[in-house]
């Protein structure tokens, strides 16, 4: 009996090992590509990968949505720690790349044949500079952006007797004052001109301070040469502007995100948001609701183009990839002209490429999707994030001061920006 | 030939020993090693000596988080004991629907902490929350339950008390039912009032239960995390950052693993010290 049990155990173990090894073999043969786990991007990955596999029998690619988790960033981190990274990942937030590059887990793409030519054809030199790592190498290829802009309720803005959305801080104050209402006469405001989360969470500043800072400063960096570079008049102006908005109750201090959509329900006339709001608004907007997008508000004396934050997601190749050149060849096809058009039409996300708004190849799409055209115009003037391995801490330190100054008015904008800059400089000294 | 009788005891305790080594001894040992290193998970560990300890001593936010936790405990524990004891005393009487009330008070204990927190977040809303609507209805000013830095931690303590009070009611009920009825009968004969009976008989007799509730509340209070994490994110102005939330943020938000381990170790010693002091009091009482 004991002998029989031993034999069964050995046989079972043998089959398990065979099973594991055969799985590994399959996954190693193909290049593994992780895409975002939203359904539109999975569809995009499927179509593009199927096309590639049809024409490249020797370099087959297997696509897979990034495994479910609290956030894709955490999944990637876990994969890096566990050495189970895919060969290609296409949803890498630009701000994370520097830390991974310094950890030595990414392939320097500029070492691959044909990369530099492709990059300079796709992007302006300013974008190339922006994505360059601190060691001078490039570890990411710019892929897509979702610029943050001002969405506004057309009917409500028209009711105020304005000729379009406010463009400067003074115009915003004027419109906000007209819009603010206490309907039930209880002494408390019932509708606010705008809404921005008051949470101190670092990434919330992507939807208020950071795009406004880029707009005011013409795309200035937050850090440069391992020092804070935001201790300037633009950051102070942005803090002063937002502080006034909260002080005068033009923005609500309450967390409104848990209730009915404040923008679609007319509780607020504007918001700072990206193109993803279009699909949401089209699905849930009430009858007769009209909305448009406009550039981020700027200081009254601002001249030149209005920049904003582009929320860039880029593509990287991990060092676990056995054939980075083959992976790069696939990426080149994934994001070529046709690939970018497919990205636009399937996901309504903008490819990060130069002259997107004037390129005739995409003009049909923008004719059919006029609301996306303004984002394409804006895409000429977007910034991502600075290359720094401690970017989250930097945003957190700014966010702490933002809360003290902007939301609670406990510091002057000058003092708050100065304190944030000092704290960031200390961070670099550690 | 190995003696089977000698091996058997080791085999029987081996699951626990393996579990202890893997999930207790190794993590604790590794954490202690981590405190002398800088490590962001993805890069190799870098030895930094006692830098993390120096940083801890100078970290004002951590000190604030400790202060916040103590404020929470100072509000939460007395509230918990007073309400739990008061309700247990009532539920120990022969009142109508006693079973229903006992079940109702225990209900929040078994409801997910996340759900309770989100519900209370709605109740505490500044413009739309029920509490402020009631205040306005009776002609009072609205209160920034979660947005006023001076009130936010107290609001969280009240919510935590509501959530946990059912558990302590059960403990107090057990305590109350162990008090011999002869004492009350004798007191009745002497003409003692209800308050006199409560303060002269009930309270001294359930002292061990009160201490147990204090210890449990203290341990629970020190681990305050879900409530500020969901309701306020530690704000406003760091007024609700608990020590555990701060350690979590350092570890799993910024991946300062070495520093988070240092904070965790320090905090563990603080909890140990507080529990030891409480234990001394209990022993003295006995």
Could you tell me the CATH number of the domain that includes residue A35?
3.40.190.10
**Token pair of B127, please?**
């413009």
A121: left (phi over 0), alpha (psi -120 to 50) or beta: alpha
Identify whether residues A132 and A175 lie together within a single domain: no
What is the distance in angstroms between the Cα of B206 and the nearest Cα belonging to chain A?
Answer: 44
Question: Is A66 among the domain residues?
Answer: yes
Nearest alpha-carbon partner for A178 in A165, A190, A164, A161: A161
Number of domains in chain A: 2
Identify whether residues A118 and A93 lie together within a single domain: yes
Nearest to A408 among B122, B233, B236 (CB): B236
Model confidence at B36: pLDDT above 90: yes
**DSSP H or E stretch at residue A350:** strand A350-351
What is the distance in angstroms between the Cα of B233 and the nearest Cα belonging to chain A?
Answer: 7
pTM of the model: 0.81
Helix (H, G, I), strand (E, B) or coil at A31: strand
Of the ranges A98-107, A141-150, A251-260, which one carries the lowest mean pLDDT score? A251-260
Inter-chain touch B41–A81, beta carbons under 8 Å: yes
Nearest CA in chain B to A74: B252
Domain final residue pick, A298, A329, A351: A351
Residue-wise pLDDT tens digits, A48-97: 999 999 999 889 999 999 998 878 888 999 999 888 999 999 999 999 99
Of the ranges A22-36, B60-74, B106-120, B258-272, which one carries the lowest mean pLDDT score? A22-36
**A190 reaches B (C-beta below 8 A):** yes
Inter-chain touch B237–A403, beta carbons under 8 Å: yes
* Distance from the first to the final alpha carbon of chain B: 53
Nearest to B42 among A81, A252, A396 (CB): A81
Q: Which residues contact B205 (CB under 8 A, 6 or more apart)?
A: B175, B178, B179, B183
What is the distance in angstroms between the Cα of A251 and the nearest Cα belonging to chain B?
Answer: 13
Chain A positions in Cβ-Cβ contact with residue B40 (cut-off 8 Å): 99, 103
Residue-wise pLDDT tens digits, B267-286: 999 999 988 887 787 776 65
Identify whether residues A170 and A221 lie together within a single domain: yes
Model confidence at B218: pLDDT above 70: yes
Cβ-based contacts under 8 A for chains A and B? 65
Identify whether residues A192 and A163 lie together within a single domain: yes
**A393 reaches B (C-beta below 8 A):** yes
Mean pLDDT of chain A: 90
Task: Using the structure block, give the residue that is written with the tokens 């089209």.
Answer: A282
Identify whether residues A207 and A131 lie together within a single domain: no
| Predicted ipTM of the assembly | 0.72
What is the distance in angstroms between the Cα of A192 and the nearest Cα belonging to chain B?
Answer: 12
Cα B195 to Cα B119: distance, rounded to the nearest angstrom: 36
Cα separation values, A305 from A75, A298, A382, A383, B221, Å: 37, 10, 10, 12, 53
Chain B positions in Cβ-Cβ contact with residue A255 (cut-off 8 Å): 121, 125, 146
Contact A60, A29 (CB under 8 A): yes
- Domains in chain B, ordered, with CATH? 59-285 (1.10.3720.10)
Residue-wise pLDDT tens digits, A350-388: 999 999 999 999 999 999 999 999 999 999 999 999 999
Nearest alpha-carbon partner for A316 in A31, A92, A27: A92
Identify whether residues A119 and A153 lie together within a single domain: no
Exposed, middle or buried, B5 (CB in 10 Å: 0-12/13-18/19+)?
Answer: exposed
Nearest CA in chain A to B235: A200
Q: Could you tell me the pLDDT band of residue A22, with boundaries at 50, 70 and 90? A: very low
Range of the domain at A424: 149-309+388-429
Nearest to A199 among B43, B235, B253 (CB): B235
Domain final residue pick, A351, A379, A411: A351
Inter-chain touch B147–A186, beta carbons under 8 Å: no
Identify whether residues A110 and A237 lie together within a single domain: no
Model confidence at A311: pLDDT above 90: yes
Question: Is A369 among the domain residues?
Answer: no
Residue-wise pLDDT tens digits, A382-391: 999 999 988 9
């Amino acid at each position: 009996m004991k002998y029989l049990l031993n034999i069964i155990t050995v046989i079972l173990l043998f089959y398990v090992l065979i099973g594991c090894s055969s799985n590994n073999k399959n996954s190693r043969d193909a290049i593994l590509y992780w895409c975002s786990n939203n359904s539109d991007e999975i569809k995009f990955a499927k179509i593009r990968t199927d096309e590639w596999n049809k024409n490249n029998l020797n370099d087959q690619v297997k696509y897979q949505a990034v495994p479910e988790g609290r956030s894709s960033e955490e999944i990637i981190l876990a994969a890096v720690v566990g050495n189970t990274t895919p060969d290609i990942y296409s949803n890498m937030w630009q701000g994370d790349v520097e830390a991974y590059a310094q950890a030595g887990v990414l392939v320097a793409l500029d070492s691959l044949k044909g990369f530099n030519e492709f990059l300079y054809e796709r992007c302006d030199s300013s974008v190339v500079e922006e994505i360059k790592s601190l060691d001078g190498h490039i570890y990411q290829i710019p892929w897509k952006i979702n610029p943050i802009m001002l969405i506004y309720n057309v009917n409500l803005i028209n009711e105020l007797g304005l000729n379009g959305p406010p463009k400067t801080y003074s115009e915003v104050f004027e419109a906000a004052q007209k819009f603010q209402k206490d309907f039930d006469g209880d002494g408390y405001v019932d509708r606010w001109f705008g809404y921005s989360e008051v949470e101190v969470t670092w990434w919330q500043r992507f939807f208020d301070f950071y795009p406004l800072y880029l707009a005011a400063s013409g795309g200035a960096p937050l850090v440069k040469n391992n020092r804070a570079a935001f201790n300037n008049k633009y950051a102070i102006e942005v803090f002063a502007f937002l502080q006034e908005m909260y002080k005068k109750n033009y923005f609500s201090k309450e967390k409104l995100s848990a209730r009915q959509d404040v923008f679609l329900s007319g509780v607020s006339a504007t918001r700072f948001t990206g193109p993803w709001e279009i699909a949401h608004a089209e699905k849930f907007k009430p009858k007769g609701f009209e909305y448009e997008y406009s550039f981020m508000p700027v200081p009254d004396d601002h001249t030149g183009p209005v920049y904003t934050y582009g929320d860039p997601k880029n593509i990287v190749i991990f060092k676990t990839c056995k054939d980075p050149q083959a992976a790069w060849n696939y990426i080149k096809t994934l994001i070529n002209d046709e690939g970018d058009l497919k990205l636009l039409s399937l996901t309504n996300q903008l490819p990060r490429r130069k002259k997107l708004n004037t390129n005739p190849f995409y003009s049909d799409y923008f004719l059919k999707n006029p609301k996306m055209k303004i984002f394409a115009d804006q895409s000429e003037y977007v910034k991502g994030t600075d290359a720094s391995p401690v970017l989250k801490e930097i945003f957190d330190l700014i966010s702490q001061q933002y809360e003290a100054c902007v939301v609670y008015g406990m510091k002057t904008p000058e003092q708050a920006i100065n304190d944030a800059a000092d704290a960031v400089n200390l961070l670099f000294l550690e | 030939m190995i003696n089977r009788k000698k091996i058997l005891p080791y085999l029987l305790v081996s699951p626990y020993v393996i579990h202890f080594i893997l999930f207790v001894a190794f993590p604790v040992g590794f954490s202690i090693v981590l405190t002398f290193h800088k490590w962001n998970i993805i890069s190799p560990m870098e030895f930094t000596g006692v830098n993390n300890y120096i940083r801890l001593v100078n970290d004002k936010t951590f000190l604030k988080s400790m202060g916040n936790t103590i404020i929470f405990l100072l509000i939460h524990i007395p509230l918990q004991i007073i309400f739990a004891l008061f309700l247990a005393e009532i539920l120990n009487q022969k009142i109508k629907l006693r079973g229903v009330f006992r079940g109702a008070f225990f209900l929040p204990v078994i409801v997910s902490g996340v759900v309770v927190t989100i519900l209370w977040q709605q109740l505490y809303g500044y413009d739309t929350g029920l509490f402020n609507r009631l205040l306005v209805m009776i002609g009072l000013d609205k209160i920034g339950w979660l947005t006023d830095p001076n009130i936010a931690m107290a609001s969280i303590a009240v919510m935590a008390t509501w959530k946990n009070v059912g558990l302590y009611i059960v403990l107090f009920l057990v305590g109350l039912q162990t008090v011999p009825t002869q004492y009350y009968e004798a007191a009745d004969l002497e003409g003692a009032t209800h308050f006199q009976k409560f303060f002269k008989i009930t309270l001294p007799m359930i002292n061990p239960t009160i201490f147990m509730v204090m210890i449990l509340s203290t341990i629970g209070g020190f681990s305050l995390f879900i409530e500020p994490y969901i309701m306020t994110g530690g704000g406003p102005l760091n007024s609700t950052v608990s020590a555990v939330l701060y350690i979590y943020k350092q570890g799993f938000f910024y991946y300062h693993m070495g520093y988070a381990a240092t904070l965790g170790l320090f905090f563990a010693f603080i909890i140990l010290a507080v529990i030891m002091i409480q234990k001394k009091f209990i022993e003295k009482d006995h």
